[in-house]
């Protein structure tokens, strides 16, 4: 959890893929056809 908090403080970081604190519920995936939304 500490590493996730550290990385999230870096300028330009929106979020990281560690998800130690909160489980991901949505993934926005950029593709050549546009953005796809994946729900979990």
* One-character DSSP codes across 9-39: TSTT----S--SSS---EEEEEETTEEEEEE
Report how far residue 4's alpha carbon sits from residue 18's, in angstroms, rounded to the nearest whole number: 6
pLDDT band at 13 (very low <50, low <70, confident <90, very high): confident
pTM beyond cutoff 0.85: no
DSSP character for 6?
Answer: H
16-37 pLDDT, tens per residue? 666 656 677 888 888 999 999 9
| Residue 28: closest CA among 18, 36, 40, 19 | 36
């Amino acid at each position: 959890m500490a590493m996730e908090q550290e990385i999230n403080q870096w300028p330009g970081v929106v979020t990281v893929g560690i998800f130690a604190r909160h489980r991901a519920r949505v993934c926005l995936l950029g593709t050549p056809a546009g953005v796809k939304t994946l729900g979990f």
